[in-house]
Amino acid sequence: MTTVIGNIRRAPPGKVGLGEPGELVVDGDTIEFRGTKATIRLTGVRAVSREGNTGIVNVFYGSPEAKERFMDFRRSRYRTNSQAKVLVEELRSLLGHGSGGGTEQPAEVYRARMKAARTRMLVAAAILVVGLLVTIITFSRASRGGGTFIVAWGAILAAP
C-alpha cells in the first residue's frame, strides 16, 4: 500500500534552513521524497527517529552512514518537536517498524493527551479569571464605602 504525506521539507545536510519542499511517498520499506528540484528514493529503510528537540526527523536507510533529514510542515508553517514525534510514529507505522522501543508515543495517544491538557488549561484559566473578578469587584466596592473585601487567592493560585 502506498501512502503520500504532503507538506514535508527535506532538511539540508549539516545546515539550518527550510530546505526543499515536497512530499514523502511510503511503499513497503521504501520512502521516496518527491521535491520541487529532485526525487530521492530511500530503499531499505532501517530506522526513523527524531533529531533531539529540533523538529527534524532522521530516516536511516541502505548503508550504515546513509541518512536523510525531513521536517513536517503539515499542521503549521513552523517546524516543532511535537510535529516530528507525530511524523516519526506515522513513518514507523507505515514501515512496520513498531515503536522502536523509544519513549515516543503513538500519534493517537499524543493527540489525546494534548487535547486533555488543553481542556485542563482552559478550565484553570476560567477559575483564575473568576477568582480575579471576585477580588477586583469586592475590593472596588470596599474601597468606595469602606468595609471588607474578599481576596480569592485559592481560586487564583490553586486552579487545577
Q: CA 150 → CA 121, 136, 138, 146, distances in Å?
A: 25, 9, 6, 13
- Burial classification of residue 145, based on how many CB atoms lie within 10 Å of its CB (0-12 exposed, 13-18 middle, 19 or more buried): exposed
pLDDT of residue 137: 93
Pair 9, 34 in one domain: yes
Shared domain for 17 and 85, answered yes or no, is yes
Same domain, 26 and 70: yes
Q: What was the pLDDT predicted at 114? A: 79
Asked if residue 59 and residue 83 are part of one domain, the reply reads yes
Please report the pLDDT score of residue 135 as a whole number.
92
pLDDT confidence of residue 140: 92
**Considering the chain, what is the average pLDDT of its residues?**
78
Output the pTM of the full model: 0.53
- Give pLDDT tens digits for 112-138: 777 888 888 898 889 889 889 999 999
